[in-house]
Amino acid sequence: MRQAVRRDHGRRPAGRHRGVNASGAPRSGARPAGQHASGAPRSGARPSLLSRLSATPGWRLSPRAALTLATAAARRAAIGGQAVMEGVMMRGVENWSVAVRRPDASIYVEAWPLVSFMKRYPVLKLPVVRGVTALVESLVVGVRALTISANQSVGEEGQELTGREIGITLVVAFGFAILVFFLAPLGITRIFRSQLGTGFGFWLVEGLVRVAIFVVYLLIITQFRDLRRVFEYHGAEHMSIHALEHGDELTVANVKKYKTLHLRCGTSFLLIVMVVSILVFAVVRWPVWYLLILSRVILVPLIAGVSYEIIRLAGKHESNPVVRVIMAPGLALQWMTTKPPDDSQIEVAIASLTKVIELEPQDGEADKGVEVMA
C-alpha cells in the first residue's frame, strides 16, 4: 500500500492502496490491499466494523470520528516502531507502515499487511519463544523499511528486497553483533583468567566488559552528524506512541508534550540482554574452549527471549516505581539514541502511526498472543 502525501495537502483518503503514485494513478501491477499476488483474499483478512458500516446506504462517519474509532482499537494492541532514514516505521499486529520525508517536502507513506508467524504457529506464542519470534519479525520489517526510506529520502523508486537479500542482511547483522558484543568480551576477559578464575567473578567481569563495549559503541555512533537525524526521528516515534497510549489526538502539539524516552525501546532491550547474559553464562560456567565459544552463539536466542519477557512486563507496569528504578539505566541510555525532533519530523511519525491505526482491525480485540517488538 503506497501513498504519497504532501504536507500542505493534508491526509488523503484511506482508500489508496499500495502501488498508488502521488498523482493517484495505480502503478503497473498494483494489487488491492488484503490480496495476494494471485488476487485471492489475503489469509486472515476480515472486514472491519468501520468498513461494514461505511457500506451501509445513507450511513456516514466524519473522518475524525473514524480515526477515533480506529485509535481505540489500535490501543488494544501494542504499537512498535523504528526510526529510518528521514522517516519512521510503525508496526501493529496485522500491518506496518513507513513514512518518509521526501526532498520536495512531501511525506511518502507506504503500508503493508503482516501475518505474524505467531498466528500461523501457536507454539510460537509461548513465553521466551514469542520474544525471539517478535525480534526476528521486527528485524525483517526493519530491513524492508530502511530500504524504502533510503530510496524515498532521495526521491527515487527502488526495487523491493527479495527474501534472500533480507536473509543475507540479517545473517551479516547477527554475525557482527555476536562478534562485537559476545565473542570480543569473552576474548578480552579471558586475558585475565588467571586473576579472575573461572567462577562468577569471571562472568561478571565479562558482562561488564560487554556493557562497556555497548556504551562505547553508542557513544561513537552518536557522534556522526548524519545519524543525529535518525535519532531525532527515533524521538518522534517514541513521543507519538506515548500520545497514542495516553489517548491523545495525534497532533503535533499533543505529541510534543511527551518525552523521547520509552520503556519498550530497543535500546533498553539491548541493555537488558547484556545483563541477562551474565546470569545465563554463569550457569554455563567453563566448558571446553570450543563449547565456550559456541555457547556465545547458540544461547543468544534464549537470552533475547528472556530479555523480551522482562521488557514486556515492564511495559505493562510503566507507572510502577520499582519498575521505573529497574529500567532507569536503559532509559538513561536512550538519552544517547533519541534526540528532540522538530515539528516536521513529528508530522512524519504521526503520518506513519495514523496509517497503521487506519489499517488495524477495528472490530473486537486484537489477536491475543501476537507480540510486537517496540
Neighbours of 256 (CB within 10 A): 15
Task: Give φ, ψ of 82 to 5 degrees.
Answer: -160, 140
Cβ within 8 Å of residue 223, ≥6 positions away: none
Residue 160, by phi and psi: left (phi above 0), alpha (psi -120 to 50) or beta? beta
So what's the pLDDT on residue 154? 78
In a domain, 374, yes or no: no
Triad 108, 172, 126: Cα angle to 5°: 80
**pLDDT (0 to 100) of residue 67:** 53
Range of the domain at 222: 2-35+48-359
Could you list the mean pLDDT of each consecutive 10-residue stretch along the chain, which spans 374 residues? 44 37 37 35 42 45 51 57 93 90 92 86 89 87 89 74 76 88 90 80 88 90 86 94 89 93 84 87 78 86 90 80 84 89 95 91 53 58
Cα 337–chain centre separation: 14
Tell me which amino acid residue 148 is.
I
- Gap between the Cα atoms of 54 and 182, Å rounded: 54
> What is the residue whose three cell numbers read 519498550?
264
Q: How far apart are CA 85 and CA 150, in angstroms?
A: 6
Rounded to the nearest angstrom, the gap between the alpha carbon of residue 97 and the centroid of all alpha carbons in its chain is 11
Non-local (6+) Cβ contacts of 204 within 8 A are: 278, 282
In this structure, what C-alpha cell is assigned to residue 355? Answer: 496509517
Cell triple for residue 296? 556465545
Question: Per the structure block, which three cell numbers stand in for 269?
Answer: 532491550
Q: What is the dihedral of CA 160, 162, 166, 172, to 10 degrees?
A: -120
- Residue 373 belongs to a domain: no
Integer Cα distance of 320 and 330 in angstroms: 16
Residue 365: inside a domain: no
Cβ atoms 20, 13 nearer than 8 A: no
The verdict on residue 40 lying in a domain is no
Q: Note the pLDDT of residue 225.
A: 81
In a domain, 87, yes or no: yes
> Starting at the edge strand that comes first in sequence, how are the strands of the sheet with 95-101 ordered?
2-5, 107-113, 95-101, 87-91, 80-84
Give a yes or no: residue 367 inside a domain. no
CB 193 within 8 A of CB 202: yes
Could you tell me the pTM of the whole model? 0.74
In a domain, 25, yes or no: yes
Whether residue 353 lies inside any domain: the answer is: yes
Domain count, the chain: 1
10 Å Cβ neighbour count for 328? 11
